[in-house]
Amino acid sequence: MEQFFIKLSIMLVPGLMAITCHEVSHGYIADKFGDNTARYQGRLTLNPLKHLDILGTLMVFVIGIGWAKPVPVNFNNLRHPKRDMIWVAAAGPITNFLLATASALAMRGVIAATENIADGTLAAAIVDPVTLMLAFSVYINLLLGIFNLIPVPPLDGGRVAVGLLPYGPSSALARLEPYGMIIIIALVFFTNAFNYVIAPALSFGVHLLAGPYAKIVFGVTRLMMR
């Protein structure tokens, strides 16, 4: 039980922020491009309770990745539906990559500013959890951003592809959406897609952003996933 609360204290805030900001960004860009569905439904807010999906939140603690309730977007309301869909869909992963970058910079700054603090002091008791939270934020945001770029709808990468492709291939890909999650589950759990595609991209992103502190990011992730 104690281990659970330790994990909760480190993972909860970064996890909720990652999935909440991801969803809000979709609604915000859609609102700017003519669809105010999310605004009318009160979903343009950073209050995580408005976006919380219980199962999706639990999955953050179980498998290290989760989801929120999708922000509603009516693509037919967009001023240029096919083109604007690209930006609405891309907003989620872009937001996660920006959060990962900000978290990595903050983590580097905290470590550099507190490297001479002795273990066991009050300052260390405050700084160490903050560092771990920032490290986990780097990981979870990169993972969400990369995972959502898989080009299968309803993931964001699939919707970006639908917007970019010519009409014929675009329509064929869009028709996969009702079966998209089945395809994604099959790819992730029954193929080596994670090991050969997602994991290398994630490792590259962590090393790029965290630099010499990449081991902290991977270390806290392994600890949290036990």
> Is residue 21 a contact partner of residue 76, using CB atoms and an 8 Å limit?
no
> Is residue 54 a contact partner of residue 119, using CB atoms and an 8 Å limit?
no
> Is residue 26 a contact partner of residue 88, using CB atoms and an 8 Å limit?
yes
> Is residue 144 a contact partner of residue 65, using CB atoms and an 8 Å limit?
yes
Is residue 23 flagged as an active site residue? yes
Residue 31 pLDDT? 96
What's the chain's average pLDDT?
89
Res 59 pLDDT > 90? no
* Whole-angstrom distance, CA of residue 22 vs CA of residue 36: 17
Per-residue pLDDT tens digits for 129-156: 899 999 999 999 999 999 999 999 989 9
Share of the chain above pLDDT 70, in %: 95
Per-residue pLDDT tens digits for 173-224: 999 988 888 898 888 778 888 888 899 999 999 999 999 999 999 998 887 7
- Name the more confident of 146 and 4: 146
Find the catalytic residue in 2, 23, 115, 177: 23
Cis amide leading into 154 (omega within 30): yes
To the question of pTM greater than 0.85 for the whole model, the response is yes
